[in-house]
A = this chain, B = another copy of it.
Protein backbone atom coordinates (compact mmCIF):
# COMPACT_ATOMS: atom_id res chain seq x y z
CA UNK A 1 0.00 0.00 0.00
CA UNK A 2 1.25 3.51 -0.74
CA UNK A 3 2.89 4.74 2.42
CA UNK A 4 0.85 7.97 2.46
CA UNK A 5 -2.37 5.97 2.60
CA UNK A 6 -1.43 3.41 5.22
CA UNK A 7 -3.50 3.84 8.38
CA UNK A 8 -1.72 5.43 11.33
CA UNK A 9 -2.31 3.76 14.63
CA UNK A 10 -1.29 5.72 17.69
CA UNK A 11 0.10 3.66 20.54
CA UNK A 12 0.30 5.38 23.90
CA UNK A 13 1.45 4.19 27.30
CA UNK A 14 4.14 4.68 29.88
CA UNK A 15 7.92 4.54 29.54
CA UNK A 16 7.87 1.96 32.32
CA UNK A 17 5.38 -0.86 32.65
CA UNK A 18 4.89 -4.37 34.03
CA UNK A 19 5.86 -7.29 31.83
CA UNK A 20 2.28 -8.20 30.99
CA UNK A 21 1.70 -4.77 29.49
CA UNK A 22 4.96 -4.86 27.58
CA UNK A 23 3.89 -8.18 26.10
CA UNK A 24 0.52 -6.76 25.11
CA UNK A 25 2.14 -3.72 23.55
CA UNK A 26 4.55 -5.88 21.57
CA UNK A 27 1.66 -7.97 20.28
CA UNK A 28 -0.27 -4.81 19.39
CA UNK A 29 2.75 -3.54 17.43
CA UNK A 30 3.11 -6.84 15.59
CA UNK A 31 -0.55 -6.95 14.61
CA UNK A 32 -0.55 -3.33 13.45
CA UNK A 33 2.40 -4.09 11.19
CA UNK A 34 0.73 -7.17 9.76
CA UNK A 35 -2.23 -5.03 8.78
CA UNK A 36 0.12 -2.52 7.15
CA UNK A 37 -0.59 0.12 9.75
CA UNK A 38 2.05 2.71 10.60
CA UNK A 39 2.74 2.74 14.32
CA UNK A 40 2.89 6.29 15.72
CA UNK A 41 4.09 6.69 19.29
CA UNK A 42 6.13 8.84 21.66
CA UNK A 43 9.32 7.02 20.69
CA UNK A 44 10.59 6.30 24.20
CA UNK A 45 11.06 3.18 26.34
CA UNK A 46 8.53 0.87 28.01
CA UNK A 47 5.25 0.35 26.25
CA UNK A 48 6.39 2.46 23.28
CA UNK A 49 9.57 0.45 22.77
CA UNK A 50 7.77 -2.88 23.13
CA UNK A 51 5.22 -1.86 20.51
CA UNK A 52 7.91 -0.65 18.11
CA UNK A 53 9.88 -3.87 18.59
CA UNK A 54 6.75 -5.86 17.79
CA UNK A 55 6.06 -3.79 14.70
CA UNK A 56 9.63 -4.16 13.41
CA UNK A 57 9.56 -7.92 14.02
CA UNK A 58 6.70 -8.04 11.50
CA UNK A 59 8.33 -5.71 8.99
CA UNK A 60 6.29 -2.65 9.96
CA UNK A 61 7.04 1.06 9.89
CA UNK A 62 7.33 3.06 13.13
CA UNK A 63 7.25 6.78 13.86
CA UNK A 64 8.37 8.19 17.21
CA UNK A 65 7.59 11.79 18.16
CA UNK A 66 9.99 12.39 21.01
CA UNK A 67 10.20 14.99 23.80
CA UNK A 68 13.86 15.82 23.27
CA UNK A 69 15.73 17.51 20.46
CA UNK A 70 18.13 14.68 19.64
CA UNK A 71 17.05 11.64 17.69
CA UNK A 72 19.39 9.35 19.63
CA UNK A 73 16.92 9.60 22.49
CA UNK A 74 14.43 7.39 20.66
CA UNK A 75 14.19 3.67 21.26
CA UNK A 76 16.11 1.56 18.73
CA UNK A 77 12.97 0.32 16.97
CA UNK A 78 11.83 3.72 15.73
CA UNK A 79 12.29 4.20 11.99
CA UNK A 80 11.28 7.84 11.66
CA UNK A 81 12.22 9.90 14.70
CA UNK A 82 10.58 13.32 14.97
CA UNK A 83 12.42 15.36 17.58
CA UNK A 84 10.43 18.21 19.11
CA UNK A 85 12.46 19.59 22.02
CA UNK A 86 9.10 20.35 23.62
CA UNK A 87 9.07 17.85 26.47
CA UNK A 88 5.66 16.51 27.46
CA UNK A 89 4.02 19.23 25.39
CA UNK A 90 4.69 16.90 22.45
CA UNK A 91 2.02 14.52 23.77
CA UNK A 92 -0.53 16.53 21.83
CA UNK A 93 1.35 15.90 18.59
CA UNK A 94 1.55 12.14 19.10
CA UNK A 95 -2.21 11.67 18.99
CA UNK A 96 -2.75 14.46 16.47
CA UNK A 97 -0.82 12.24 14.06
CA UNK A 98 -2.84 9.07 14.57
CA UNK A 99 -6.11 8.07 12.92
CA UNK A 100 -7.10 6.01 15.95
CA UNK A 101 -5.35 5.42 19.28
CA UNK A 102 -4.65 2.35 21.40
CA UNK A 103 -3.72 3.03 25.04
CA UNK A 104 -1.86 0.34 26.98
CA UNK A 105 -1.51 0.86 30.74
CA UNK A 106 -0.02 4.30 31.40
CA UNK A 107 -0.10 7.06 34.00
CA UNK A 108 -0.75 10.78 33.79
CA UNK A 109 1.22 11.38 30.60
CA UNK A 110 -0.92 8.74 28.94
CA UNK A 111 -4.01 10.36 30.43
CA UNK A 112 -3.08 13.66 28.77
CA UNK A 113 -2.80 11.82 25.45
CA UNK A 114 -6.15 10.08 25.91
CA UNK A 115 -7.74 13.45 26.62
CA UNK A 116 -6.14 15.08 23.58
CA UNK A 117 -7.14 12.18 21.35
CA UNK A 118 -10.77 12.64 22.32
CA UNK A 119 -10.52 16.42 21.87
CA UNK A 120 -9.21 15.73 18.36
CA UNK A 121 -12.05 13.33 17.62
CA UNK A 122 -9.92 10.17 17.53
CA UNK A 123 -11.30 6.98 19.03
CA UNK A 124 -9.31 5.61 21.96
CA UNK A 125 -9.20 1.87 22.60
CA UNK A 126 -7.92 0.86 26.02
CA UNK A 127 -5.95 -2.11 27.30
CA UNK A 128 -5.55 -1.97 31.07
CA UNK A 129 -5.47 1.80 30.95
CA UNK A 130 -7.51 4.67 32.48
CA UNK A 131 -11.15 3.74 32.91
CA UNK A 132 -12.80 6.97 31.87
CA UNK A 133 -15.74 7.87 29.68
CA UNK A 134 -14.77 7.80 26.05
CA UNK A 135 -12.22 4.98 26.24
CA UNK A 136 -13.41 1.79 24.55
CA UNK A 137 -12.10 -1.21 26.50
CA UNK A 138 -10.54 -4.10 24.60
CA UNK A 139 -10.03 -7.55 26.04
CA UNK A 140 -6.61 -8.25 24.60
CA UNK A 141 -4.10 -7.08 21.98
CA UNK A 142 -5.88 -8.77 19.07
CA UNK A 143 -9.21 -7.28 20.10
CA UNK A 144 -7.68 -3.81 20.42
CA UNK A 145 -6.13 -3.94 16.95
CA UNK A 146 -9.30 -5.38 15.46
CA UNK A 147 -11.32 -2.55 16.98
CA UNK A 148 -8.86 0.05 15.74
CA UNK A 149 -8.95 -1.13 12.14
CA UNK A 150 -12.72 -1.62 12.22
CA UNK A 151 -13.06 1.95 13.34
CA UNK A 152 -11.14 2.96 10.21
CA UNK A 153 -13.44 0.90 8.03
CA UNK A 154 -10.88 -1.89 7.62
CA UNK A 155 -12.26 -4.88 9.57
CA UNK A 156 -10.55 -8.26 9.17
CA UNK A 157 -13.48 -9.96 7.53
Chain A residues close to B by CB (< 8 Å): 3-4, 38, 61, 63, 65, 69, 71, 76, 78-89, 91-93, 96-97, 108-109, 111-112, 114-116, 118-120, 130, 132, 134
> Known contacts A83-B97, A88-B116, A89-B92; can you find 7 more A-B pairs with CB under 8 A?
A3-B61, A3-B80, A80-B80, A81-B97, A82-B93, A84-B96, A91-B92
Residues of B within 8 A of A69 (CB): 87, 96, 120
Residues of B within 8 A of A88 (CB): 85, 92, 116, 119-120
Residues of B within 8 A of A119 (CB): 88, 108-109, 112
Residues of B within 8 A of A116 (CB): 88, 108, 112
Can you list 10 residue pairs at the A/B interface with Cβ under 8 Å?
Answer: A4-B80, A38-B80, A63-B82, A82-B93, A82-B97, A83-B96, A108-B115, A108-B119, A112-B115, A132-B132
**Bound complex: CA A3 to CA B76 (Å):** 12
**Bound complex: CA A134 to CA B58 (Å):** 39
Shortest CB–CB separation between residue A57 and chain B, in angstroms? 15
Q: A4-B78, A108-B115 are in contact. Are A83 and B93 (CB under 8 A)?
A: yes
**Bound complex: CA A138 to CA B111 (Å):** 22
Which residue of chain B is the closest to A117 with respect to CB atoms?
B108
